[in-house]
């Protein structure tokens, strides 16, 4: 219990220290500004789409965007489009019940969370190692507790950023388009925020692991970017049509060690269907982090 308390205290200190620093401000600006801009672009796309559709179908167009899209989400044609996209009829049917803005924010968070955690947490450990302040902390606590506390503190910071982006997306969409299901949209935004945090934890473990290995700020940032690039290229290559066709058994097996191999699981309907992906993503984050800590534990900080 004392070890858990120590980790919790380190995580809380790291989180509040980040809140008091420019890192938290940069994090909120990245998440909120990016969310507002992307949501505004999505609403603009919806407006153009609905205007074009109304012209082609010779029907009246409402003053604000969203009404026609909500009706379109209930059509059989949209169901077939989702089914072709995800390759699962049950998942396609479930996606049709999700408000468009919530679905868009889910896609947005899943797409950009790896890059955001790289920029915001890439130097979380290396900054203290480079300045020498880490020695004061390690004089009082063991290395593992300190490193795990730093990981959890950055995870909490990431979750706050994702939730802030969700609030910004809801506010922007409510001002710019028709949304007859505001509370349902809000609920789904919270759900997708939690799922995006799980997905982001895999990359956060990689980023913090790289920061544990590096001794300088630039080295930590470079290692995090290289690791993100390697994970991204490797995972996408294993999911490509050529790879899955040429290596039908090997490619799906190897893809399980990459976060991209489990992102679709987080969109599934029931908790039981999502559980394998959640467990694997958390395990991958811990595995990447452990690899970095193994090197950190053997050297003089």
H/E/C letters for each residue in 78-138?
A: HHHHHHHHHCCHHHHHHHCCCCHHHHHHHHHHHHHHHHHHHHHHCCCCHHHHHHCCHHHHH
On whether the CB atoms of residues 216 and 126 are closer than 8 A, the answer is yes
Could you tell me which of 175, 160, 161 has the C-alpha nearest to residue 40? 175
Predicted local distance difference test score (pLDDT) of residue 59: 47
Is the pLDDT score of 66 beyond 80?
no
Predicted local distance difference test score (pLDDT) of residue 62: 52
Mean pLDDT of all residues in the chain? 83
C-alpha–C-alpha distance, residues 180 and 174, integer Å: 10
On whether the CB atoms of residues 263 and 277 are closer than 8 A, the answer is yes
Predicted local distance difference test score (pLDDT) of residue 187: 93
Looking at the chain, the whole-number percentage of residues with pLDDT higher than 70 is 86
C-alpha–C-alpha distance, residues 73 and 94, integer Å: 11
Is the pLDDT score of 162 beyond 60?
yes
Tell me which range, 78-82, 130-134, 173-177, is most confidently predicted by mean pLDDT. 173-177
Is the pLDDT score of 152 beyond 90?
yes
Cut 0.85: pTM above it: yes
Strand partners, 177: 65
Least confident span in 58-67, 254-263, 286-295: 58-67
C-alpha–C-alpha distance, residues 40 and 65, integer Å: 11
CB-CB neighbours of 197 under 10 Å = 21
Of the two residues 274 and 134, the one the predictor is more confident about is 274
On whether the CB atoms of residues 228 and 114 are closer than 8 A, the answer is yes
- The per-residue pLDDT for range 192-249, each reduced to its tens digit, is 999 999 999 999 999 999 989 887 888 888 888 898 899 988 888 888 888 888 888 8
Is the pLDDT score of 89 beyond 90?
no
Could you tell me which of 10, 292, 6, 11 has the C-alpha nearest to residue 157? 11
């Amino acid at each position: 219990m004392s070890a858990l308390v120590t980790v919790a205290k380190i995580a809380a200190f790291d989180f509040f220290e980040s809140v008091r620093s420019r890192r938290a401000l940069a994090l909120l600006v990245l998440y909120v500004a990016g969310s507002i801009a992307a949501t505004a672009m999505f609403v603009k796309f919806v407006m153009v789409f609905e205007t074009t559709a109304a012209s082609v179908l010779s029907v009246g167009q409402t003053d604000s965007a969203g009404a026609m899209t909500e009706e379109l989400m209930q059509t059989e044609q949209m169901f077939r489009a989702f089914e072709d996209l995800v390759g699962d009829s049950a998942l396609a049917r479930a996606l049709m019940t999700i408000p468009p803005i919530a679905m868009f924010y889910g896609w947005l968070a899943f797409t950009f969370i790896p890059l955001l955690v790289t920029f915001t947490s890439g130097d979380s450990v290396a900054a203290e190692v480079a300045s020498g302040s880490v020695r004061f902390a390690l004089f009082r606590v063991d290395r593992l507790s300190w490193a795990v506390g730093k990981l959890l503190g950055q995870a909490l910071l990431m979750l706050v950023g994702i939730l802030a982006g969700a609030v910004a997306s809801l506010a922007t969409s409510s001002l710019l388009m028709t949304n007859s299901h505001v509370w349902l949209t809000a609920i789904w935004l919270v759900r997708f925020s939690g799922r995006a945090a799980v997905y982001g934890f895999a990359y956060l473990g990689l980023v913090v692991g790289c920061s544990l290995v590096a001794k300088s700020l630039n080295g930590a940032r470079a290692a995090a970017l290289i690791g993100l690039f390697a994970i991204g290229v490797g995972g996408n290559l294993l999911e490509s049509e050529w790879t899955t066709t040429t290596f039908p058994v090997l490619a799906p097996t190897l893809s399980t060690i990459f976060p991209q191999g489990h992102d679709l699981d987080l969109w599934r309907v029931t908790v039981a269907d999502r559980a394998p992906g959640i467990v694997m993503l958390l395990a991958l984050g811990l595995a990447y982090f452990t690899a970095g800590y193994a090197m950190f534990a053997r050297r003089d900080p």
